[in-house]
Chains A and B, each alone.
Chain A
């Protein structure tokens, strides 16, 4: 059963450290999304890609966040430097096309102290 894989599942780090989250989308899916979930804000769309090209990253704090797709099997989300307000669960999702249902990974729970 194909699924989206995210690593790590949990990450605890100190303020100022770099954090890298990884996502392996489902093979053949050409859209990849990054979301952040918090109790206060709910699910926020951070960035998304189609055929590895970034379509929109306006949801990300540009000065510290970056999202890339080095190849079709890997998407990364980096935070440098991390801050306590970045603490959240970060989800990656992939879809066969822009209007298709999304398949979510189980998320990376990030805690910045």
Chain B
């Protein structure tokens, strides 16, 4: 079953604008990760945020995590045409006995208009 759910399903913005994607999940987690997928390729890891962290930065990416709301957001600043891709959040639900496998949402399809 899927743990995370991204919102919106699709987002189209102009180059140079910021893009924000959200992720909600259902159960307690050890960490939350964001991945990117270009058409016809495998997923590529972008950033990992642990359950005891609230914000993390990597280049033009900023991720926030609110465990009380079971939600995360991914912000891409100063977007570029090359950022066009699908973005997924993934969580490893902690089920008491240890971390479960990483489960993904259905993704946000981001289109950057040049």
Nearest CB of A to B98, in Å: 7
- Tell me the complex Cα distance, A101–B44, Å: 9
Nearest CB of A to B71, in Å: 18
The residue from A44, A101, A106, A107 contacting B45, defined by CB atoms under 8 A apart: A101
Chain A: number of interface residues, binned into ranges: 20 to 34
Produce 1/0 per residue, B84-114, CB < 8 A to A.
Answer: 0000101010000011111111110000000
- Tell me the complex Cα distance, A4–B41, Å: 12
Main secondary structure on A side of the interface with B: strand
**A98 lies within 8 A of chain B by Cβ:** yes
Q: Are A103 and B45 in contact (CB under 8 A)?
A: yes
**B42 lies within 8 A of chain A by Cβ:** yes
Q: Interface of B with A (CB < 8 Å)?
A: 2, 30-31, 33, 35, 40-45, 48, 88, 90, 92, 98-107
